[in-house]
Structure 1
């Protein structure tokens, strides 16, 4: 049975998304949009809980931050926006739950918002913790956390299996050559986790074995081709692909106080990391790291009202590069 998409109207300036709900409600995403290389806007997914009301799903929101830290609510009335990514055409993809009548959550799905603000469900039948990445050709890759399968979706929605045999893929990123890098979390299994490199033809190469204590949550490349991994234990690891600094070229680039949930680079080379906080959400924040690893607090969330979870960055247009 097909579900009629919910019509969603957006305000282009600082403002809230006005949603017209039919039988399904939708969630939001996280982006970084630039008008110039020095003025990128950071979008962060999370929750915007009413004052004096306890935590709970159904208050998903997108917060918009200007380059100087100015904050506004960009979208509200969402459910639980999660992993997200954008293609070069400006289409936004993200994971969330379908909200059923009465407020209950249904199955997880990939949602798509086009540049003209049309919102649809792009793919069903996936686990909520699935990771997303888009290649240069506009194909969407979805690493299903539960099944360990990486699916490839063409822009028309046609799906194919790209890779399988993973345990819990927990982070994906494309390098400048179009190779897909995946962090596989083996937690709960007897085998050690690894970071794999997949060639465009699907051939897999093991890049590095993860430490038993590692809990990967996200991957990102800097402009020099170095790979960074966010760990739920709070550390950000850097892999130098051009030199062997340790058995697999890994050093600790920095850390956040609680739990590194996701990470992304801006056009100036600054690294932004979302700290999900502790189990109750306390201590969540977005941190900014300079090229030399100096950390500063970019935005602070509050467990009683605002919480942050995921961040992502829209590819810069040619004018901004």
Structure 2
């Protein structure tokens, strides 16, 4: 078995002190360029991996990043974790995951206690928990940096990565309009979420820009669940003048609409075009495959981790850049031009 490489090995082969190696690992600016490059080359050649606890003691930090979430969608969270983990591995941090209940009245105190007990260096907040200003404000008051993933401008740039979901919803609605649809049903998300508002506004923006009347009977409230999509689909399709297309503001509801259409003997997309939002893993697997808007979740999480670690390391200029990502229209088999 190969012996574990130690900091002593790196220092000996680089011809420097252990303190210099530690400074290079912690990105200290006081190390000369030639020494830094030599140490980094030896680290790469030996495959040296510093111990996070020992490294943390040297730098007065834990090298632990916290992910606090309340999102029941495992596919979404898998993408978030994958994006953050890629940066943590590169930068020598560990990820600590903390599930939460955003309806708990003691949530803010629970998060602060978690951060304190685990000695977390910084926190990433995905939606919907990222939309709770009290959490971000309390973390800041306790000197703990955080970065929020969101659907709109809810904070300063150094604490925010945005998916422009309003433009994504507008893009989908305009695609349906350009396919000849003028009666487009819309199923929104639950009240109180930024994504619900932003996606609905994108749908309305597209109708207005094409001089189409906004028919209140075509707007139904959903809950981002399959069951609410089935219910809303039945309501829209049971109307005297049913829509020729339905845009559900997430994929699970859109799949529910496809199910409701089948119950009524309608064929998708010949009789009804159906579109969703998010590009859930199931969107490409159902029959017909679902036309949707792909939200760049993994990239958002990667950028959030890079911003957070830049802030922790004191590189505030690197963390202050605006990060606004545009969702992508993904055309599949559930939509077609109106016949």
Question: More relative contact order in 1 or in 2 (CA 8 Å, sep 6+)?
Answer: 2
What range describes the TM-score normalised by the shorter chain of this pair?
under 0.3
- The structure in which a higher percent of residues are strand is 1
> Which TM-score applies when normalising by structure 2?
0.25
Q: As a proportion of its length, which structure holds more helix?
A: 2
Q: TM-score, normalised by structure 1?
A: 0.26
